[in-house]
Homo-oligomer: A and B are copies of this chain.
Amino acid sequence: MASRPKATILDIAREAGVSKSTVSLVLQGSDLIRPETALKVRKAIEDVGYVYNRGAANLRKAHSNVIGMVINDLTNPFFAEMAVGMERVFQSAGIVPFIANTAENPVRQEEVLKSLMEQGVAGLIVSPARGTTPGAFRRIEMAGLPIVFTMRRLPESRIPVIAPDNHRGAWLATAHLIGKGHHRLAFFGGSSDLVVYHERLGGFREACEALGIAKRDTLVVEGETSRKGGIACLETAFAMAEPPTAALCFNDAVAFGVMLALRKRGLEPGADFAVVGFDDVIEAQHYMPALTSVAVDSAGLGERAAHVMLRMIQSRTTRAEDHIGAVNLVVRDSCGPHRRAGMGDAA
């Protein structure tokens, strides 16, 4: 089991009694080779335990078959699903996606991107870490490497983005809440250093305005995008003089936190306080009560991103259209039935 010096194409050639060029052609599945010769070569390949050296090959071809996907938080099932969607597409195109995690750390992201480029990837799909500086992708753009963003958008960047329609999703959810008879609404969680945050909050605000909710009857509480953050948001809201009766949460995780906090106060999510989430992760439907949430089809977005990338690679361009994915509100039990009249304040 000692690791003898790795077998190369030349070893195969010697073993099979042909030239290295012939071996190379066999490896590429060329039909210029006589079937019997090919067979002989393939046997030799097995015998010497050869592994193809793609690094050496890329030296000549300058066209690799791997693309890098850089994910900001792999432990978030939402991103994991997206990654899986992409894999499906790439697999059938014969290209291999390597995934790297940045854990929301811009420094780590820098390292990972550098490594991926050095490895000679054909393209990059990135869900940028929070706090990424606008210049972080300059080198990649300079190198003319295809790159697309998913889920998140950078403030001023010309890089194509594949993301859900956050604005519309928030609008729909808010309208649903108002339709249920709520007058005092809150937007919970998220922080303003994320473009996504502004998109969702914008949808919330516009829906409120369009449907006649006064600005003073809306409450916005920033917070971590986690269960913990949700708990904190609710506590903050209930410390107010006139607390809201319903909340749109930045995220399903926040929504779960809010529901937990409600229970802790002896309130029943749905009946006593309406909550809607965003993302519609798998757990949403299994929760008690099942969470009403804005579904964004993360796997579908992943597939779309992969297709865009494929096209960019084929047409050797670094440009592509943005793609805003459709969203839809999945109504479950966390907003209860229509709110009884006479409980709200003046309208």
Interface residues of chain A, those whose CB is within 8 Å of chain B, are 1-4, 6, 49, 51-56, 58-59, 62, 65-66, 74-75, 77, 80-81, 83-84, 87, 91, 96-101, 103, 108, 111-112, 115, 117-120, 139, 141-145, 227, 256, 260, 263, 283, 286, 288, 316, 318
Of B58, B83, B96, B118, which contacts A115 at CB under 8 A? B96
Chain B residues positioned under 8 Å from A143 (CB to CB): 3, 6, 49, 51
Contact A119 B286 (CB under 8 A): no
Of B2, B97, B103, B283, which contacts A144 at CB under 8 A? B2
What's the Cα separation between A84 and B62 when bound, in Å?
Answer: 32
Contact B75 A84 (CB under 8 A): yes
What's the Cα separation between A51 and B66 when bound, in Å?
Answer: 17
Supposing A51-B118, A119-B55 touch, asked if A99 and B99 sit within 8 A by C-beta, the answer is yes
What's the Cα separation between A69 and B316 when bound, in Å?
Answer: 30
Chain B residues positioned under 8 Å from A62 (CB to CB): 6
Q: How many copies does the complex hold?
A: 2
In the complex, what's the smallest C-beta–C-beta distance from A53 to chain B, in angstroms? 7
Contact A98 B101 (CB under 8 A): no
Contact B84 A119 (CB under 8 A): no
- A2, A53, A103 pick with most chain B CB within 10 angstroms: A53
Chain B residues positioned under 8 Å from A2 (CB to CB): 144
Chain B residues positioned under 8 Å from A112 (CB to CB): 96
- A84, A112, A143, A318 pick with most chain B CB within 10 angstroms: A143
What's the Cα separation between A65 and B66 when bound, in Å?
Answer: 17
Chain B residues positioned under 8 Å from A103 (CB to CB): 84, 87
Contact A66 B99 (CB under 8 A): no
Supposing A74-B84, A75-B80, A101-B99 touch, asked if A117 and B51 sit within 8 A by C-beta, the answer is yes
- A2, A55, A111, A316 pick with most chain B CB within 10 angstroms: A55
Contact B52 A118 (CB under 8 A): yes
What's the Cα separation between A58 and B51 when bound, in Å?
Answer: 15
Chain B residues positioned under 8 Å from A49 (CB to CB): 139, 142-143
Chain B residues positioned under 8 Å from A283 (CB to CB): 283
| Chain B residue nearest in CB terms to A140 | B51
Chain B residues positioned under 8 Å from A98 (CB to CB): 98-100
What's the Cα separation between A266 and B326 when bound, in Å?
Answer: 38
